Amino acid sequence: MSDIRPQRGHIYRMAMGHGPALTGIVVSSDALHQSSEDCVAALVVTDTNPVRLPTWVQLGDGDPKGGYVVARHIKTVRARVLMEELGQVSAETMEEVDRALKLVLGL
């Protein structure tokens, strides 16, 4: 069991059952993390031929990992599945992730 506390805008490797670990960025609010064992994460992929959709956000040079945030792939996960923190994305990247989430959720 992990004792990692999820933080919004941070990228984590996540143990999601019997398959390989996935990478995700926490998009839920830190206020939620204070009172819940859950967090909401969007998938991060390292696809070399990404789909060019407004719901895909490219991670930049100032981010802890290369690849793309796929905002349409969001999932509520238990904090205990967070295995390793890879770092925090830049403020600019998080703004783009928020924009993509607004498109996905119709906000």
Q: What is the pLDDT of residues 90-100, one digit of tens each?
A: 999 999 999 99
pLDDT number for residue 73? 95
Indicate whether this model's pTM tops 0.85.
yes
Domain range 10-105, CATH architecture? Roll (2.30)
pLDDT number for residue 51? 74
pLDDT number for residue 93? 96
Residue 29: what residue type?
S
What is the mean predicted confidence (pLDDT) over 14-22? 85
What are the residue boundaries of the structural domains of the chain, listed by start? Answer: 10-105
Concatenating the DSSP letter of every residue in the chain gives ---PPP-TTEEEEE--SSS--EEEEE-S-HHHHHH-SEEEEEEEE--SS----TTEEE--TTSSS-SEEEEEEEEEEEGGGEEEEEEE--HHHHHHHHHHHHHHHT-
pLDDT number for residue 2? 62
pLDDT number for residue 24? 96
Q: What is the pLDDT of residues 23-77, one digit of tens each?
A: 999 999 999 888 888 999 999 998 877 777 889 999 999 999 999 999 999 999 9
Statement: residue 1 has pLDDT above 90:
no
CB-based contacts of 46, cutoff 8 Å, min separation 6: 23, 65, 66, 67, 68
